[in-house]
Structure 1
Amino acid sequence: MWLKKKKTQEQVKELLNITIRNGQIALAENHNSFQTRAESSLKQVLDAIAMGVPEKEIIFSLNTGDFPVKKPVKGDFYYCCERKEDLDFVFPDFIFDHWKQAGIPNFGNTVSEISEAAKQPYDYERMLWIGNVQTNIIRKKIIQYSEKFPDLIEAYDTCVDQVVDGKKDIPYISLKDHTKYKYLIDIEGRGYSGRIKMLLFTKRLLFIQERQWKSYYHFELEPYKHFIPVKNDLSDLIQQIEFTESQGENYYDNITQNAYNFAVENLRYEKAVARIKKLISGL
């Protein structure tokens, strides 16, 4: 087995091709995957194989980009999909292993740190968002809201990779420190969001913007049970914050506990690997 990194001239620019024979990886080809996405996903596949897969040749491709580039067909997998009907093509993403470049050296350790910090009361009775506004024009709106409603929203334009690399003039708030805020919001970037699964561990009320691309577990999250929904253009964000405020602390506590319970039950590395085993065993 070897991991070969090479560029491709095909339409798909970010691709991990894997062949399994006799319960072992026979070939892994990495076509221009961003950072260490391919390496992390390959580790997950190896752990899935260790759980037991059929003794037959299994060939598949994992598209490691932020969104699907074509209609899924058997043997193609993505980190997200648009419709529930396409869930059989959706892998758990690479972040279940790590995303060191974004300050997540190990997923399990990171969510443990978040869970521990979540035991403390929040410090700030407002919403936090921090991210790169260049990846989606809608993200600029949250910055505008924070300027207009500073008592309700705190938002920062940052590129976390640069901060982790040592560029200290850019704002940075760790995922663990997100628990210092009463409300959190996830806003789509270039494609699917890898951050939602970690925010669900914070025991802070999470607002999720409607979006096209969704991770596999997204379809199991229920509005007003696990999170507060917000329109894609954020036009109802202030209204939704005010609605939540009017419902009282019991309402807040119920939703945040539901979200935390869901995360603990469903969003662990072992669960992600078990899903991969099931998906590739079905090929």
Structure 2
Amino acid sequence: MWFNKKKDQEEPLELLIVSIKNAQISSISNFNSFQSRAESSLKMTIDAIKLGIINKDISFSLNTGDFPVGNIQPNNFYYCCDCKENLSTVFPDFIFDHWQQAGIEDYNLTVQKIIDASSRPFIHNKMLWIGNVKTNATRKKITEYTKQFPDLIEAYDTCVDQHVSGSKKVPYISLSDHTKYKYLIDIEGRGYSGRIKLLLHTKRLLFIQERRWKSYYHFELEPYRHFIPVKNDMSDLISQIEFVEQQGLTYYETIVNNAFDFAIENLKYDVAIKRIQNLINNKL
């Protein structure tokens, strides 16, 4: 498995180990999983078992970190991968249940709030990004662009956990309020992004920065059909915004509707649970 040497002892990384016997959970071990990631992933596993078609006894390990660690082995799962050949290892991430620490009390309810808000016209004719700049150096680029192009981009450095806990006053814009902006962008942090699936429901044009680690559904998204691509170093961000502006409203609406239709069909909780069932049964 995945181990690091620390003080002459081996400690497992962020890891949830689940054993299933006779179509029920027989044992659980949780090592270092951040916040409630393990609990949510376990709940999703239980819901997959409740579908009633678990055809084998199995013990599997889920790396609950932001990116894979160690070599891929049988019955090892991750929240993301970097190539299509490894898609059979990718588990739907914990946010399909909730991420209460980040203000997502319930995935389905959050999605519905976003959809309700998306029916109203956007207010700001610019791009929005809000997130923790410290998790990836490229995120600093968006704040630099804000200073250079204030009419095009609005960006905030924040730590949403601090807002939700009330421990510190920080900038905060809810996911449903993201719909007040014409353009949105997802920028990589420590690893894969759990936010993309939510932003695809906004009916706002989503720009996605190129990155290594992707959720399973990310590989099905097509550039210029579901989103606008941006280079990893963000060097073409302004030119990509200008390109879209030149294409007109029909182009904009076509892409946002394609993205929304994809999200409605593929990014439901029930669809994620079905994927987990297939992973357990080694059908992917």
CA 1:14/1:117 → structure 2, altered by over 3 Å: closer, same or farther? same
Counting only pairs closer than 5 Å after superposition, residues 107-256 of structure 1 correspond to structure 2 as 107-167=107-167, 169-256=169-256
1:102 aligns with 2:102: yes
CA distance in 1, matches of 2:24, 2:169: 46
CA distance in structure 2 between the partners assigned to 1:34 and 1:12 by the alignment: 13
CA contact (8 A) 2:54 2:277 kept: no
User: What's the CA shift for 1:71?
Assistant: 2.4
Residue number in structure 1 paired with 2:3: none
Q: Is the 8 A contact 1:12 1:69 kept in 2?
A: no
Deviation at 1:32, TM superposition (A): 1.0
- Structure 1 CA distance, aligned partners of 2:12 and 2:168? 35
Cα distance in 2 for partners of 1:16, 1:53 equals 22
- Unaligned regions of 5+ residues in structure 1, if any? 1-8
> Under a length normalisation based on structure 1, what TM-score does the superposition of the two structures give?
0.95
Report the AA paired with residue 24 of structure 2: Q
Alignment check: 8 A CA contact 1:67 1:78 kept: yes
Q: Deviations over 1:227-268 (max 9, x none)?
A: 000000000000000000000000000000000000000000
The corresponding residue for 1:30 is 30
* Separation (CA, whole Å) in 2 of partners of 1:218 and 1:277: 20
Q: Residue in 1 aligned with 2:49?
A: 49
Alpha-carbon distance, 1:12 to partner: 3.9
Distance in 2 (CA, whole Å) between partners of 1:263 and 1:203 is: 10
Say if 1:133 and 1:157, in contact at 8 Å, map to a contact too: yes
Take 2:161 and 2:268, find their aligned partners in 1: how far apart are those partners? 24
What CA deviation, in whole Å up to 9, does each residue of 1:98-118 have, x standing for no partner? 000000000000000000000
CA distance in structure 1 between the aligned counterparts of 2:169 and 2:120, rounded to whole angstroms: 29
Say which SS state the counterpart of residue 98 (structure 1) adopts: coil
Give the alignment's TM-score, normalised by structure 2: 0.95
Shift of 1:166: 1.1
Whole-angstrom distance in 2 between the partners of 1:56 and 1:218? 29
1:217–1:10 CA distance, 2 compared to 1 (3 A): farther
- Runs of 4+ that moved beyond 3 A: 9-12, 53-56
Cα deviation, residue 53, structure 1: 3.4
**Do the aligned residues in 2 keep the contact of 1:59 with 1:75 (CA within 8 Å)?**
yes
Cα displacement string for residues 137-183 of structure 1 (whole angstroms, at most 9, x for unaligned residues) = 00001000001100000000000000111145310000000000000
Q: Secondary structure at the match of 1:261?
A: helix
Higher deviation after alignment, 66-75 or 255-264: 66-75
Q: Is residue 88 of structure 1 aligned with residue 82 of structure 2?
A: no
Are 2:263 and 1:280 equivalent residues in the alignment? no
Using the TM superposition, give the Cα deviation of residue 219 of structure 1 relative to its aligned residue in structure 2, in angstroms. 0.3
Partner of 1:260: 260
Q: Supply the distance in 2 between the matched residues of 1:10 and 1:211 (Cα, whole angstroms).
A: 31
1:202-230 deviation per Cα after TM superposition (whole angstroms, max 9, x unaligned): 00000000000000000000000000000
Residue pair 2:81, 2:215 contacting (<8 A) in 1 also: yes
Identical-pair percentage:
65
Question: What is the root-mean-square deviation of aligned Cα atoms in Å?
Answer: 1.1
